């Protein structure tokens, strides 16, 4: 199924692993624990640590000397704020907070001496996923939204780091299909404490390039590097280099014709342009969701590779720091340096085989000795999202058919709508391919002649698995629209058999 660019990756694909219910015994023990308390006493206590989740934002707060963790997603997208004091987690209760989200960018802002949060994405499982572009600061006790005169475009998985030379924060957004003149692969923005300014850099990190997810209705036959799974902007990470004071960006290179050595490229922001490092000795294969953290004590940038080993960037080259035990493999985790203790802190993420979400906390010290498991169960937890229900409001079947007809005229040039039904996106998929999630959609089947090079061995937009075998031209196609808004989500050639009633 042709998918719109989506921020989530490397997840053992259920969109959210569904929370297992507590056992009957655990429930009884919980009730008994509340017996004997005085009138009005609460029978519940606040959680002791963040739930197993992925996509959280985490950074060190110099005002309180704590690590601040915000949001992420388990069975739902979260809007909670947590603090790590070097020994334990505490749930904070600020008067204000950003809306629920995952994959937000969070970093120290030298212009305000506070933490700066930007964007992220949210998916309620009902309508399509939404990318956010709001800006917030954390003052040590509360969140404050900043209404800047200029806003960066909403894009999946933004990345930020402080530029101590200019006293600004540098933001990179990638794979932003913003429409028209805004359709570029990589944008660079700077924050001066008051507003965002787009930078017209002569060079820029590659991002996804003009690849499979560049824009709706466009496909590419660019050569993927062996082992590459396709373009994903989570393959980028940023941190501030303690040596130069400038942001450093590391990204996975997906295409063999990208013009830079692969599979990992290292870039440095020079204040007005991106400079590509001549050194490309970062680990191979690189992780899909790399983590990059500045360590001012050793004056290096620390990189966590796919094997959960640490590499250090000294401003010129990468050096392995593989010593001691390692945490279980994962992706989409949160990592930051606790500057008070000098320890690297790793939390959560999507577990490796057999999958699930991690809720464990690990620390790593530059003094050696490897990783130490300090909190939470190290085994991943299965978390499955509750089945979606039909949204209370949405466009009509007639309107869905009309919009699909417009899509046909502008994209395919041929085809007649013959059937329009609603349901979860996962209800319409080919055997052997990953389902599209619990989001409710309108699915419109089309009859006609369709040959876009997408059947058989040709490239397929947003392909998520083995392609159905067919001999072009196909005689059916499908258009998928968001149930609530009517927004186009994806196309499929030929139409899934479930939609055709087979």
How far is the C-alpha of 266 from the C-alpha of 291, rounded, in Å? 13
Does the pLDDT of residue 118 top 80, yes or no? Answer: yes
pTM of the shown model: 0.70
Q: How far apart are CA 124 and CA 129, in angstroms?
A: 7
Is the confidence at residue 412, as pLDDT, over 60? yes
Task: Look at residue 147 in the predicted model and tell me its pLDDT.
Answer: 95
pLDDT score at 283: 64
> Token pair for residue 309?
């080993």
Reported as a pLDDT band with limits 50, 70 and 90, residue 398 is: very high
Per cent of the chain over pLDDT 90 is: 36
Round the average pLDDT of the chain to a whole number and report it. 76
Domains and CATH numbers, the chain: 56-375 (2.120.10.80), 397-492 (no CATH)
Q: Name the 3-class secondary structure at 32.
A: helix
Whether 148 has a pLDDT exceeding 50, the answer reads yes
How far is 194 from 183, CA to CA, in rounded Å?
26
Task: Pick the range with the lowest mean pLDDT from 363-377, 421-435, 442-456.
Answer: 421-435
Q: Which pLDDT band, with edges at 50, 70 and 90, does 170 fall under? A: very high
Q: What is the pLDDT of residue 409?
A: 79
Residue 87: left if φ>0, alpha if ψ -120 to 50, beta else—which one? alpha
377-410 burial string, b = 16+ CB within 10 Å, else e?
Answer: eeebbbbebeebeebeebbeeeebbbbbbebbee
pLDDT of residue 438: 65
Q: What whole-number percentage of the chain has pLDDT above 70?
A: 68
Q: Specify the higher pLDDT residue, 471 or 66.
A: 66
| Local confidence band at 463 (pLDDT 50, 70, 90 cut-offs) | very low
For range 277-295, the mean pLDDT: 73
Phi-psi region of 400 (alpha: psi -120 to 50; beta: other; left: phi over 0): alpha
Phi, psi of 398 (to 5 degrees): -65, -40
Which segment, 18-22, 98-102, 175-179, 452-456, is predicted with the most confidence on average? 98-102
The predicted-structure confidence for 189-246, as pLDDT tens digits, reads as follows 999 999 999 999 888 787 644 333 333 333 345 565 554 433 344 578 899 999 999 9
């Amino acid at each position: 199924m042709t998918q719109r660019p989506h921020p989530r990756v490397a997840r053992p694909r259920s969109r959210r692993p569904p929370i297992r219910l507590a056992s009957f015994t655990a429930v009884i023990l919980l009730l008994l624990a509340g017996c004997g308390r005085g009138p009005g006493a609460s029978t519940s206590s606040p959680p002791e640590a963040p739930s197993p989740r992925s996509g959280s934002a985490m950074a060190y707060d110099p005002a309180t000397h704590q690590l601040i963790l915000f949001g992420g997603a388990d069975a739902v997208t979260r809007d909670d704020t947590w603090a790590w004091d070097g020994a334990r987690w505490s749930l904070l209760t600020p008067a204000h907070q950003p809306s629920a989200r995952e994959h937000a960018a969070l970093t120290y802002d030298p212009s305000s001496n506070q933490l700066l949060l930007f964007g992220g994405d949210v998916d309620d499982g009902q309508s399509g996923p939404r990318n956010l572009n709001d800006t917030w600061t954390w003052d040590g006790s509360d969140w404050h939204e900043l209404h800047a005169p200029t806003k960066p475009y909403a894009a999946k998985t933004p990345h930020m780091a402080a530029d101590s030379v200019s006293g600004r924060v540098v933001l990179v957004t990638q794979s932003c299909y913003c429409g028209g003149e805004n359709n570029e692969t990589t944008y660079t923005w700077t924050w001066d404490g008051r507003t965002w300014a787009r930078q017209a850099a002569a060079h820029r990190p590659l991002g996804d390039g003009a690849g499979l997810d560049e824009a709706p209705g466009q496909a590419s036959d660019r050569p993927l590097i062996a082992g590459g799974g396709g373009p994903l902007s989570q393959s980028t990470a940023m941190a501030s280099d303690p040596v130069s004071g400038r942001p450093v960006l590391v990204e996975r290179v997906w295409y063999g014709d990208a013009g830079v050595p692969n599979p990992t490229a290292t870039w440095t922001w020079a204040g007005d342009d991106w400079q590509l490092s001549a050194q490309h000795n970062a680990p191979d294969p690189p992780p899909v969701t790399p983590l990059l953290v500045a360590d001012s004590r050793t004056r290096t940038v620390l990189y966590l590779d796919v094997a959960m080993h640490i590499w250090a960037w000294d401003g010129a080259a990468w050096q392995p720091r593989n010593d001691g035990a390692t945490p279980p493999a994962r992706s989409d985790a949160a990592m930051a340096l606790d500057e008070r203790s000098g320890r690297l802190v790793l939390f959560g993420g999507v577990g490796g085989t057999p999958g699930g979400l991690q809720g464990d906390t690990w620390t790593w010290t530059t003094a050696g000795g490897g990783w130490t498991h300090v909190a939470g169960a190290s085994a991943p937890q299965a978390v499955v999202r509750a089945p979606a229900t039909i949204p209370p409001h949405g466009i009509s079947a007639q309107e869905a058919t009309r919009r699909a007809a417009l899509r046909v005229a502008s994209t395919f040039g041929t085809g007649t709508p013959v059937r329009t039904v609603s349901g979860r996106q996962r209800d319409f998929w080919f055997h052997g391919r990953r389902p599209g999630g619990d989001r409710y959609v309108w699915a419109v089947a089309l009859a006609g002649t369709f040959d876009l090079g997408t059947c058989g061995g040709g490239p397929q937009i947003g392909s998520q698995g083995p392609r159905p075998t067919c001999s072009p031209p196909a005689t059916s196609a499908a258009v998928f629209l968001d149930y609530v808004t009517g927004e186009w989500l994806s196309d499929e050639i030929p139409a899934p058999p479930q939609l055709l009633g087979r």
